Amino acid sequence: MKVLVVGSGGREHAMAWKLAQSPKIQQVYVAPGNGGTAKDAQLINVPMTDLVQLRQWAIDNHIGLTLVGPEAPLAAGIVDDFRAHGLRIFGPTQAAAQLESSKAFSKAFMERHGIPTAEFETFTDAALAHAYVDRKGAPIVVKADGLAAGKGVVVAMSLTEAHEAIDFMLLDNTLGVAHNVGGARVVIEEFLMGEEASFMVLCDGKNVAALATSQDHKRLLNGDEGPNTGGMGAYSPAPVVTAEVHARALREVILPTIRGMDKDGINYTGFLYAGLMIDPQGRIKTLEFNCRMGDPETQPILMRLKSDLLEVLLAATSEGLDQLEMEWDRRVALGVVMAAAGYPMNPRKGDPITGLPKDQDDAMVFHAGTTEKDGQILTSGGRVLCVTALADSVKQAQQKAYQTARPIAFDGMQMREDIGYRAIKN
């Protein structure tokens, strides 16, 4: 079978790398891919981002299965379109993808179906939003409605920050949020305390299968300080997701979400990612939904997947997940992101990357914002690489990931030095 992975990040590099290990696969294509997928002899990049063009390419090239990494093509309806042309594709439809593409939709959905989440209100009018924030006080969280590449959330510790966020989200759109119908909107919600975890499942429209648990680090700087990013590192499993929390997440969040979508007339297929806040008593609230796997969480998760990813996806596209038992490596996987100068606001492109090591079974350099030019790898985006290692403990996986990252260099490189610290017992 020939398979196509859509996307160009570290997540898609990991998906393509994992799929290429399947004995049933003739060829893995990545559209458009990056410098890492270009360099990998097992993978072929297809330099296309236009979805109609890509669908025609998939038909012409007899692609047996398409896997979509990022949210933008899902929100644009790639699944609806590929299916309408008889192509097998794993992901949510455009209607289902609203769980991620609109915070206002997902918050109203959670409220309607009794799924635990922070108290909130939605605004289009800046004056009303300012008045609400003054009434509620800080800390408070301001979220842009619309896809914003992980940058549309401001956790405001002061009223000043909250007011500023309202202005740049509702009036200026300095973040470049892709607005939904009706224009700029913000969700303003209660600040939650606790520890975060990424809880991901596969849905085949009928059954749900949980992936290994994970946790990422969203802030730019050590100690979870600085601005929010798409994610500076991740590890799997997440110790905060105990067996009890796992059961609760399925019972209180995931299953009611799938059932709620069904009640609203939307059959959910694809990955579903619930960002959870877990309090010290093990109670959970849903911070957000994503309709895809997380990046960088995918990199450590897929390094731990022992099952054939193609088999998993074939089951997931034929209502067969109840027949499948996924096998996971008992070891810990930990990935460290190396980001470009200026990330997250203004990442610089075009810096040459040196010192890239050879891939190993237990230490992989997944590429994200890279491109290959005349045999050289250059930076081409915010998150450049995710160096991911497998080892017996979090501490050892952390050491190995940083050791693997050490020889890699590019101008202005930003890397946290403490990925995994919450999971390391002193």
Residue 352 Cβ vs ligand GLY, minimum distance, rounded to whole Å = 27
Name which of residues 302 to 331 contact ligand GLY (CB under 6 A): none
Binder of ligand AMP out of 3, 28, 153, 177 (CB under 6 A): 153
Q: Which is nearer to ligand GLY, 35 or 70 (CB)?
A: 70
295 binds, among ligand GLY, ligand AMP, none (CB under 5 to 8 A by kind): ligand GLY
Binder of ligand GLY out of 66, 106, 290, 371 (CB under 6 A): 290
Q: Which is nearer to ligand AMP, 138 or 424 (CB)?
A: 138
Q: What is the rounded distance in angstroms from the CA atom of residue 296 to the CA atom of residue 293?
A: 9
143 binds, among ligand AMP, ligand GLY, none (CB under 5 to 8 A by kind): ligand AMP
Q: Which is nearer to ligand AMP, 170 or 197 (CB)?
A: 197
Q: Candidates 183-191, 301-309, 311-319, 412-420 — which segment interacts with ligand AMP by CB under 6 A?
A: 183-191
Residues 323, 258: contact at Cβ < 8 Å? Answer: no
Query: Distance of alpha carbon 277 from its chain centroid, rounded?
Result: 16
Binder of ligand GLY out of 40, 204, 297, 372 (CB under 6 A): 297
CB count within 10 Å of CB 304 equals 22
Torsion of CA 306, 307, 308, 314, to 10 degrees: -150
CA-atom Rg of the chain in angstroms: 20
CB count within 10 Å of CB 357 equals 15
Q: Does 7 bind ligand GLY (CB under 6 A)?
A: no
Q: Which is nearer to ligand AMP, 190 or 411 (CB)?
A: 190
Q: Does 275 bind ligand AMP (CB under 6 A)?
A: yes
Q: What is the rounded distance in angstroms from the CA atom of residue 108 to the CA atom of residue 96?
A: 14
Binder of ligand GLY out of 189, 196, 216, 372 (CB under 6 A): 216
Torsion of CA 33, 37, 41, 42, to 10 degrees: -80
- In DSSP terms, 155 is beta-bridged to 141
Q: Which is nearer to ligand GLY, 82 or 289 (CB)?
A: 289
Query: In what side-by-side order are the strands of the sheet with 233-236?
Result: 215-216, 233-236, 332-339, 383-391, 363-367
Q: What is the rounded distance in angstroms from the CA atom of residue 129 to the CA atom of residue 167?
A: 9
Residues in the chain: 426
155 binds, among ligand AMP, ligand GLY, none (CB under 5 to 8 A by kind): ligand AMP
Instruction: Give the binding site for ligand AMP (CB under 6 A).
Output: 118, 141, 143, 153, 155, 189-192, 196, 218, 228, 275, 287-288
Contact set with ligand GLY (CB under 6 A): 150, 216, 230-231, 290, 294-295, 297
